[in-house]
Amino acid sequence: MEFVIENLSKSFEKKEVLKDINFTFESGKIYGLLGRNGAGKTTLFNCINSDLKADSGNFYLVEDGDKRGLKPTDIGYVLSTPTVPEFLTGREFLKFFLDINKDSIGKDNIRSIDDYFATMNISAEDSARLLKDYSHGMKNKMQMLINIIAQPNIMLLDEPLTSLDVVVAEEMKQILRSLKTGRITILSTHILDLALDLCDTIVLLNHGTLEIIDKENLDSSEFKTRIIAALTEESHV
């Protein structure tokens, strides 16, 4: 499976944020989207998730040579600030989600609610509390859990892991790695080390275009230098 972006452009008033982007993402890979502050990473995600109307451009999936347009359910979007319905308990949220999506997930794939919480290391006691009383990290786990169960073809993660404690962050990394087969994972981040550690491919969003930075035979510190050079260099063009 491939995810193709064709001629994507987006401007805010006179500021061109995305300039005629053409890019193909391949399944089974985690892409690290790097860019400086204000480069348009979130704008790109919002366009893909159709939260924002692009000025021009197409998105489609290619499966076994067949092209088809994106459906909302193809995408799982995990925001940097976790968003969960705070008036529900963790358990209720999961039950509601499973109710709605039982057909798309498939009966055979649905596991018990306790099972799901166990995989995320959320205790039974915590799962019965209102989400408004969850900590930031717990909310994040909950949001991730929902997105994992939905099994989207494309996972967008905006600045994940940045505000999580080390233990949860490590758990999340493991989860992301275990999920990458069969789908396209794109995560935006400012943290170079995280991108290098977790991602198979580094993509720069610079001056409104996407560009792959090849690792070639560089060791990780040389690679880092190269990425930073690419980001600084081009900003003076």
Partner 1 sequence: MFKTLRISFSLKNTYRVNTILYSLKQIPLIRKILPSTLYNVRGLKIFANVIAILWEIMTFFVTKLTYIGTMIYIVADLYEGSATDAVFLHIFLFLTIIGAFLNTYIFETGKDKYYAIVLMRMNPKHYAITNYAYTLFKAFVGTLAFGLLFGITAGLSIWQCIILPFFVVGIKLAYTSLIMLRYDKAGKVPSQNKVDLTRWIIALVLLFAAYLLPLAKFTVPAFVSSMIMLPFILLGILGIFVIARFKEYYSVYKQLLSELAIQMDNTATKVVADQHKNFISNEGNYTSNKTGYEYLNELFIKRHRKILWKSSKVISLVSFGLILAAFIAILIFPESKLEVNELLLVFLPYFVFIMYAINRGTSFTKALFINCDHCLLTYSFYKQPHDILKLFTIRLREIIKINLVPALIIGGGLTFLLFFTGGTSNPINYAIMFVSIICMSIFFSVHYLVLYYLLQPFNANTEIKSGTYQLISGATYFVAYLMMQARFPLFIFGVSCIVFCVLYSLIACLLIYKLAPKTFRIRN
By CB under 8 A, residue 124 contacts partner 1: no
Three-point CA angle 47, 5, 214, nearest 5°: 110
Query: Is the CB of 132 or the CB of 177 nearer to partner 1?
Result: 132
According to CB under 8 A, which residues from 14 to 33 bind partner 1?
14-15
Q: Which two tokens stand for residue 11?
A: 């401007």
- Point out which span in 13-21, 169-177, 180-188, 212-220 binds partner 1 (CB under 8 A): 13-21
We find the least distance from the C-beta atom of residue 13 to partner 1, in angstroms, to be 4
The amino acid present at 50, given as its one-letter code, is S
- Distance in angstroms (rounded) separating the CA atoms of residues 149 and 151: 5
Length of the chain measured in residues: 237
Distances (CA, A) of 207 to 37, 68, 195, 234, 235: 12, 29, 20, 8, 7
Query: Is the CB of 3 or the CB of 77 nearer to partner 1?
Result: 77
- Distance in angstroms (rounded) separating the CA atoms of residues 154 and 25: 10
**Single residue of 35, 40, 90, 152 touching partner 1 by CB under 8 A:** 152
**Single residue of 95, 111, 177, 190 touching partner 1 by CB under 8 A:** 95
- Site map for partner 1, 48-87, x if CB under 8 A? -xxxx-------------------xxxxxx-x---xxxxx
- Site map for partner 1, 165-194, x if CB under 8 A? ------------------------------
Q: Let me know: does 38 contact 190? Beta carbons within 8 Å.
A: no
β-bridge mates for residue 16, sequence order: 11
By CB under 8 A, residue 97 contacts partner 1: yes
**Single residue of 22, 24, 56, 96 touching partner 1 by CB under 8 A:** 96
By CB under 8 A, residue 208 contacts partner 1: no
**Single residue of 118, 130, 175, 218 touching partner 1 by CB under 8 A:** 130
Q: Let me know: does 144 contact 175? Beta carbons within 8 Å.
A: yes
E strand residue ranges, the chain: 2-12, 15-26, 30-34, 56-63, 66-69, 75-78, 154-158, 184-189, 201-206, 209-213
**Under the rule (CB under 8 A), what is the footprint of partner 1?**
12-15, 46, 49-52, 72-77, 79, 83-88, 92, 95-97, 99-101, 104, 130, 132, 146-147, 150, 152
